Amino acid sequence: MESVNEIKEALSARSRTATLDELRSEGRKRVRLIRAEHVAQMISEAVHAAIEHSGLLDQEEVDRLVEKSRQEFKSILREREQELARSRETEEALEAREGELTELKSRFGELTRALASTRAELQQVQSELEVARELPAPVAPPPAPAAAPSSDMLMALVQEMANLKANLMQAQAPQAAPAPGADFSAAIEKLAGSLNDRLETLGKKMGVSAAVGGDAPTDFGSLFDAGESKLESNMDNIQVKQKAGGGIAANLARLKKLKGGG
């Protein structure tokens, strides 16, 4: 009975399915049918007859060969099934990758919109700065916030820009691993670079470029100024707490010795 099923599977694998309409369209009005059991029986009989007539093998050897053939058949069938499963897994992985790509595209769109918005803000601040610079200089020292952005405003702006940059870099991080996102990562990196350049340009104009990652020395000293010419204070008349400590001659001598100068 098992051989009949195997024959059925083999026939199924090597035959095609056609509807009656399709057969009719091919010009066939009648078809001959044969049961799988009969095919199996015919094959079995043919094989046994051929072997018997050959006189080369006894019945026991024939049965052994039949069993071996059956095992071979099962093994091939299993392999085909495994190939089919692998193919399905690959298909599912492909679908997952496509989903990720769609998500990345969506995030890319969001980041692009955020970037555009930031650029617009930066341009607005630049314009305001230009306008402020073009105003005639007052004779007397002006109150701090009137003519130029205050320290607080600069700090807030720099902080905001740094945050935006950090967010952008953070968003970029998980996209680097999968192969399909490689191009996208490069695009994000390019955008981040472009944003950096713009921030740097604006920062330099405002004198705070190093705060967003520049290497050039920047003068932050004005942030310590109160905006008033001189603060009223009694600090000059106050003595600060003093502590005496051991000398550093020995430390210096050791250091000089290490440096080869002692």
CB of 104 to another protein, least distance (A): 25
Task: Please report how close the Cβ of residue 240 comes to another protein at its closest, in angstroms.
Answer: 5
Q: Which CB atom, from 137 or from 224, has the smaller least distance to another protein? A: 224
Range in contact with another protein (rule: CB under 8 A) among 32-40, 47-55, 134-142, 244-252:
244-252
Contact yes or no for 165/192 (Cβ under 8 A): yes
Helix (H, G, I), strand (E, B) or coil at 219: coil
Nearer to another protein, 177 or 235 (CB): 235
User: Among the candidate windows 106-114, 138-146, 194-202, 224-232, which touches another protein by CB under 8 A?
Assistant: 224-232
Tell whether residue 238 is a contact of another protein (CB under 8 A): yes
Closest approach, Cβ 194 to another protein, in A, equals: 22
* End-to-end Cα separation, the chain, in angstroms: 102
* Rounded-to-integer distance, Cα 207 and Cα 158, Å: 11
Whether the Cβ atoms of residue 221 and residue 142 lie closer than 8 Å to each other: no
R_g of the chain, CA atoms, integer Å: 43
| Angle in degrees, 0-180, between the axes of helices 59-134 and 36-54, rounded to the nearest 10 | 130
Contact call for residue 155 and another protein (CB under 8 A): yes
Nearer to another protein, 96 or 255 (CB): 255
Q: Residue 248 CB, nearest distance to another protein (Å)?
A: 5
Say whether residue 229 binds another protein (CB under 8 A): no
Report the distance separating Cα 118 and Cα 105, nearest Å. Answer: 20
Interaction between residue 100 and another protein (CB under 8 A): no
Q: Are 209 and 186 in contact (CB under 8 A)?
A: no
Which of 17, 19, 239, 260 contacts another protein by CB under 8 A?
A: 239
Least distance in Å: CB of 211 to another protein? 5
φ/ψ region of 86 (left if φ > 0, alpha if ψ in -120 to 50, else beta) reads alpha
Contact residue for another protein among 33, 177, 241, 260 (CB under 8 A):
241
Q: Taking Cα atoms as reference points, which of 14, 7, 154 lies closest to residue 73?
A: 7
Question: What is the Cα–Cα distance from 203 to 212, expressed in whole angstroms?
Answer: 8
Residues that bind another protein (CB under 8 A): 151-152, 155, 159, 210-211, 213, 217-221, 223-226, 228, 231-235, 237-252, 254-256, 258-259
